[in-house]
Structure 1
Amino acid sequence: MKFFTLLALAPLAANAFMAPTSFATRGLTSKLNANEPTYTDMGDFDEKVWSLDNKKVVYEKWDPSAARSAQNFNPFETFGGNSPDASGRFPGEARYKDPTRPDMNFALMTEERNFLENLNANPKAGDAPGAPGCRN
């Protein structure tokens, strides 16, 4: 008789060691990721080669006074030494994807360096730390 009683308790004991259900974890993800951007759309060049020419197109459309989004970000901005992907997300953020990088050679690297030096010397109007369109 005791054999049947112990078997009847087996499902109850198994449930005691199960992971918490949704009612116990409700709201945790929003609190853990509160500092990350919440936009869900993808950039214009997502799944395409993230080249200097494509970054220039995104930079021309960027408005530093508007809120940062996948369509409105500075592709040349760095955060913690990292560059954003084609949707403006940095490594460690939700939905970050390693961009498809173009083939490089010394001439292209020199062109990119000269462009970035010129860009740093002449920033876009409104590009300042703390602006709505800036990560820093």
Structure 2
Amino acid sequence: MKSVIAVALDINNFLNFEYGEYDDKLWDNDAKKDVYNKWDPATPRSTRNFNPFETFEGNSPDASGIYPGEARYKDPRSVDVSYRIMMEERHEYDQREANPKAGSKPGCAGCKS
């Protein structure tokens, strides 16, 4: 009986799964900043509420907040980048790290770690 319930729950979770807003769309720095601006660290992490700049075990999440090796991970659509663009993004990253969102800390509801 427990097995039947577990399978039913798995099927229900599979059928009700919703990918992130940028699934199958361009997952560039502008898209990540948009998701970050909507992210609420106090709300449980989901495919629509996650920090796209948070790394887990050295990996970055896809457009739904899923990490490589996890179920439903999809390689995001990305663009070619130049050294100049990478340096601009690094500057933005440093500013974000220096001024994190209120409530954003390891272990908060909206974080992976």
State whether TM-score is above 0.5: yes
Between stretches 55-64 and 98-107, larger displacement belongs to 98-107
* Other-structure match for 1:124: 101
Structure 2 stretches of 5 or more lacking a match?
Answer: 10-15
Matched position secondary structure for 2:90: helix
Percent identity among equivalent residues?
A: 53
Match of 1:45 among 17, 22, 36: 22
- Counterparts of 1:1-136 in structure 2, within 5 Å, are 27=6, 40-136=17-113
TM-score by length of 2: 0.86
What amino acid is the match of 1:105?
S
Aligned counterparts of 2:103 and 2:75: Cα–Cα separation in 1: 28
What amino acid is the match of 2:85?
L
Which structure carries more relative contact order (alpha carbon 8 Å, separation 6+)?
2
How far is 1:101 from its partner? 1.2
CA RMSD, 1 decimal: 2.0
Structure 1 stretches of 5 or more lacking a match?
Answer: 1-22, 31-38
Larger radius of gyration, structure 1 or 2?
A: 1
What amino acid is the match of 1:108?
I
Aligned counterparts of 2:17 and 2:45: Cα–Cα separation in 1: 12
Over residues 73-113 of structure 1, what are the superposed CA-to-partner deviations in whole Å (9 max), with x where a residue is unaligned?
00000000000000000111110001111110111101111
Consecutive aligned runs of 4 or more in structure 1 exceeding 6 Å deviation: none
What amino acid is the match of 2:34?
V
TM-score by length of 1: 0.72
Aligned counterparts of 1:112 and 1:52: Cα–Cα separation in 2: 7
